[in-house]
Structure 1
Amino acid sequence: MLRRSAYKNLQQRASQLQLKRSASQSVASIYFPSEPTAPVLKTESIPGPKSVELNEELGKVFDNRAAYFVSDYKQSIGNYLSDADGNKLLDVYAQISSIALGYNNPELLKTAKSDEMASAIINRPALACFPSAEYGQVLKDGILAAAPKGMNKVWTALSGSCANETAYKAAFMYQAQKKRGSLDFTHEELSSVMENKAPGASDSAILSFEKGFHGRLFGSLSTTRSKAIHKLDIPAFPWPAAPFPKLKYPLDNHKHENHAEEDRCLGELEKIIKNHPTDIAALIVEPVQSEGGDNHATPYFFQGVRDICTKYEILMIVDEVQTGVGASGKFWAHEHWNLTTPPDMVTFSKKFQAAGFYFKNPDLQPAQPYRQFNTWCGDPSKALIARTIYQEIEKYDLVNKTQEVGDILYKSLDTLLSKYPTKMKNLRGENFGTFIAWDFTSVLERQEFLDTCRQYGVNIGGCGDSSVRLRPTLAFGEEHAKLFLGIVEEIFLKLYK
């Protein structure tokens, strides 16, 4: 149970840190001058009674068994998520990494209230058949302005899973067309595909990595390998999985072992490709395996993956659904790799509030219409939001600011966690913005920490078997970092004194 003294300690800590709003501290002071200086705690526990009641009522008509608590988004502000009982929690989870600029950001509210947005919402077009006159410019000013280096085209989609699935479709159609050349579809292809059989229905595969997560739709689920519960009872394609490096930390102390591990994984990857009974159309990989436990690899590994893809003419898809849009200290996390040639496709969603995949090769767009197609093909309203997010990130240099805040978080956590070597290990994410995680020694201790954080007014999430991950907004400044670190230290003292 939460003690009232905890609330007083939070207020005292905020005062001691002199958490006054000023532009020199973070962009949050500009966006959210009335943002709290510390968590606001009104109930003895979180979730509180109103949240529990509302959640029980919702559960009668909607599967809400994964709910932490019921939120009040109208009362949420900046880096603070309000629950239905009026508690305001410092949010370093940000809707599973999908809030870019903070709750109720004033610039996003302006976009949301614009006539342009109203038209996009109420006249939602079937974009492939009836694109709006403005859509091309909206893309150029936002999603395409943010395109990864070497890419100048985009296919917009509905979600991260949808972005990956449409990228898979593009890969399959591209590889088939390469084989077909200038020939048209054969009668055998046209008839066999209607029975879900070859040669019309391809037996090609998408290769993914162990512990990877790429979504929960049918195609994306066959490449997801983070948790069994995601996949149980669902038919799956017999697609291959390659090992992903299991690095040892601290990295500086295990350079030789980690290099050998990455070489092992690259060797296994090439062996799988050589021995696979059918063609592999594409490979998909996350810069950090987020749901699978925040598993990192070095640029050396990803450069090797790119070289192997090039050697075997396999398309390389980089899944930036969770890592993209600034959180890693680069706009796109794969920029850390310094690849000699760009990936073939980069998928995105979450922090952009829109979804899709970037590409350059025009042949990744099928020659015939209606092949890459659905009613909406994305959503102009989300493209408008993405445009504002991109423009605000550029305006306030939020990618570099995120890297600076990440440096503060990592260094302080390194010092703090070193005091509890029997409880925590494997701090990772150095020089990777606020994309930081560490492991507890057991899933029970991890859960105790997450639950206690909530009682102290911090909303934080886990991943993998026993990891805790940070996923704050890009408006999370130095003052928020210091407050968070102080609360974590207080919790460690409470749990492990």
Structure 2
Amino acid sequence: MTVQQETVLEATKDPVTELRERVTGDLLDVVVDLESGRGCRLRDARDGTEYLDMTMFFSSAPLGHGHPGLREPDFEAALVRAGRVKPANPDFATTEQARFAETFQRVLGDPRLPLLFFIDGGTLAVENALKVAFDWKTKINARKGLAVRGSRVLHLEHAFHGRSGYTLSLTNTDPVKIRDYPMFDWPRIPSPAVVPGEDWDDPELLPEERVAVEAAGAALRRYGHEIACFCYEPVQGEGGDRHLRPAFLHAMQELCGEHDVLTVADEVQTGGGLTGSAWAYQTLGLSPDLVAFGKRVQVCGVMGGRRVLDVPDNAFREGSRISSTWGGALTDMVRATRILEVVEDEHLLDSSRRMGELLLSELRVLSSEFPSLVEAPRGRGLMCAIDFTDPALRDRAIAVAREHHNVLFLPSGPRSLRWRPSLSVRKDEIADAVLSLRKTLGELAPG
């Protein structure tokens, strides 16, 4: 810790207590030491306790803690320079924003999605993707002589797309997050998630997938030209790391194409390399018209193209249809540029895929060792999870792992434990985290 950090810590006494009294949040009892963390290990600034971090700030720290690539003098100088003022990025150009846009498209970009929009927050990324779709559908309807607004979003059960505005009408995971807030009655269809297995690549729809596609067809018949888009997460993270098969999502994509309905991939949780590729939709062989991104990219926003380009004056191109004062923070863009350079230089997309295979194989072993406690190990890249047979047992396991073994995990859905290590995670860090969970399960095992 630096002298300045020690002074701040002393002045505020216990930051966790202070923040719990003054600021809304769900704080862990950890004070992050921004100077001493390394890899997947962070330290508590109060007493130096070291934790093995499998959360990465809800998967928003792609290089983990204290990566040397983020400590280089030129980068730190650029970060300070960008931090002296906060430009209105949509209206005032800077070299830093231009460099970020170029680096983003080089490392993560899709040539079929050439349009970019930046904003702060994953929720607002999804919201603006929906606005692009509403605008597009209404203009397509007008071309056909239909005075009908595109004003509805087809979406899935167990979805989490955000906590404000339009996204509230799509989110349906934890009722606490949406209870009593006004929402639109938009068409919601079953989510036929499966644990990836032998039938993962079967081109034929499973019975539950046929039910979902039929429900989508019924919604399209009922609401007709009002449905602007189908919004989905390739893996439903908040809902419990629920995986949707390629065959189902392809069937939905085809159905949407037949009805002039855009497809919106919400990759706020899955995008940016976590699943072993730049975007999960690429691994699944999908062709979305819009992609919302955020979290580990550092800057949130929307990529657009494909059928969006059929309307020349789409919302990306018509002035002031989508915008904000800041258009994403410039300091975030400077940090994101450097992170993407490291991801590229260190081949971290490939590493995410390899380390994810290792992690998943270890979770399968744990499932076979403790079948009465855990089941359904699953993952794509480093986006892995395992279910507990009892929700209360899952919550107890997270507490025991932290209190007895100094490992940080997060829950997912009603009974899943999610793994979200950094893209730069090492084999020894995965081994240590798995060993700690094994010890935790041993402590919780009956008898």
- Structure 1 counterpart of 2:185: 238
* Partner of residue 355, structure 2: 405
Paired AA for residue 69 in structure 1: V
Q: Counterpart of 1:17?
A: none
Unaligned 5+ residue runs, structure 2?
Answer: 1-11
Partner of 2:440: 491
> What are the equivalent positions in structure 2 for 1:195-234 lying under 5 Å apart?
202=149, 204-234=151-181
1:62 corresponding residue in structure 2:
23
Q: Which has the larger radius of gyration?
A: 1
User: CA–CA distance in 1 between the matches of 2:203 and 2:264?
Assistant: 28
What is the CA–CA distance in structure 1 between the aligned matches of 2:142 and 2:199, rounded to whole Å?
Answer: 49
Deviations 1:221-270 (A, max 9, x none): 11111111110121111212111113257555997998222222222222
Instruction: Say if 1:408 and 1:145 are closer, same or farther in 2 by CA, change over 3 A.
Output: closer
Query: How far apart, in 2, do the equivalents of 1:110 and 1:447 lie?
Result: 40
Following the alignment from structure 1 to structure 2, what is the Cα–Cα distance between the partners of residues 495 and 344? Answer: 46
Distance in structure 2 (CA, Å) of the matches to 1:89 and 1:272: 48
Q: Deviations over 1:92-144 (max 9, x none)?
A: 11111111011122222338854443343223221222222553333112355
Aligned partner (choices 94, 106, 116) of residue 154 of structure 1: 116
2:278 maps to 1:316: no
In 1, distance between residues paired with 2:258 and 2:135?
20
Correspondence for 2:426 among 477, 484, 487: 477
SS of 1:436's equivalent?
strand
Q: Within 1, Cα distance between the matches of 2:13 and 2:30? A: 7
Q: CA deviation at 1:419?
A: 2.1
Q: Does structure 2 conserve the Cα–Cα contact (< 8 Å) formed by 1:212 and 1:226?
A: yes
- Aligned with 1:370: secondary structure? coil
For residues 453-472 of structure 1, the aligned pairs below 5 Å read: 453-455=401-403, 456-472=405-421
Partner of residue 394 from structure 1, selected from 319, 344, 359 = 344
CA distance in 2, matches of 1:245, 1:397: 34
Q: 156-165 vs 248-257, which deviates more?
A: 248-257
RMSD value over aligned CA atoms?
A: 2.7
Aligned match of 2:292: 347
Q: What TM-score do you get using the length of structure 1 for normalisation? A: 0.80
Structural mapping, 1:280-295, within 5 Å: 280-295=227-242
Q: 2: distance between equivalents of 1:426 and 1:131?
A: 49
TM-score, normalised relative to structure 2? 0.88
Q: Structure 1 176/295 Cα, relative in aligned 2: closer, same or farther at 3 Å? A: same
- CA-to-aligned-CA distance 1:347-395 (integer Å, 9 cap, x gap): 1100111110111244433554222121112222222222222211111
* Cα offset, 1:319, TM superposition: 0.7
* Partner residue, 2:131: 169
Q: Distance in 2 between matches of 1:65 and 1:277?
A: 42
SS at match of 2:34: coil
Tell me if structure 2 keeps the 8 A contact 1:353–1:385: yes
Q: Which among 71, 75, 100 is matched to residue 138 of structure 1?
A: 100
Q: Does 1:259 align with 2:221?
A: no
Corresponding residue for residue 357 of structure 1: 302
| Structure 2: distance between partners of 1:308 and 1:255 | 19
- 1:219–1:144 CA distance, 2 compared to 1 (3 A): farther
Structure 1 residues 394 and 279: alpha-carbon distance in aligned structure 2, compared to 1, 3 A threshold = same
The answer on whether the counterparts of 1:321 and 1:350 sit within 8 Å (CA) in structure 2 is: yes
Contiguous gaps of at least 5 residues in structure 1: 1-50, 184-197
Equivalent position of 2:9 in the other structure: none
Number of aligned residues: 428
- Pick from 42, 48, 58 the counterpart of residue 81 of structure 1: 42
Q: Tell me if structure 1 keeps the 8 A contact 2:229–2:263.
A: yes
The answer to whether the Cα contact below 8 Å between 2:168 and 2:178 also exists between their aligned partners in 1 is: yes
Cα 1:273–1:459 shift into 2, 3 Å = same
Aligned to 1:122: 84
Residue deviations 1:394-448, cap 9 Å, x none? 111111111111111111221221122222121111xx21111111111110011
Contact 2:154 2:216 in 1 (8 A): no
Q: Is the 8 A contact 1:204 1:280 kept in 2?
A: yes
- CA spacing shift, 1:58–1:135, aligned 2, 3 Å: closer
- The DSSP-based 3-state class of the residue aligned with 2:100 is helix
Among all aligned residue pairs of Structure 1 and Structure 2, give the percentage whose two residues are the same amino acid: 27
Counterpart amino acid of 1:402?
Answer: S
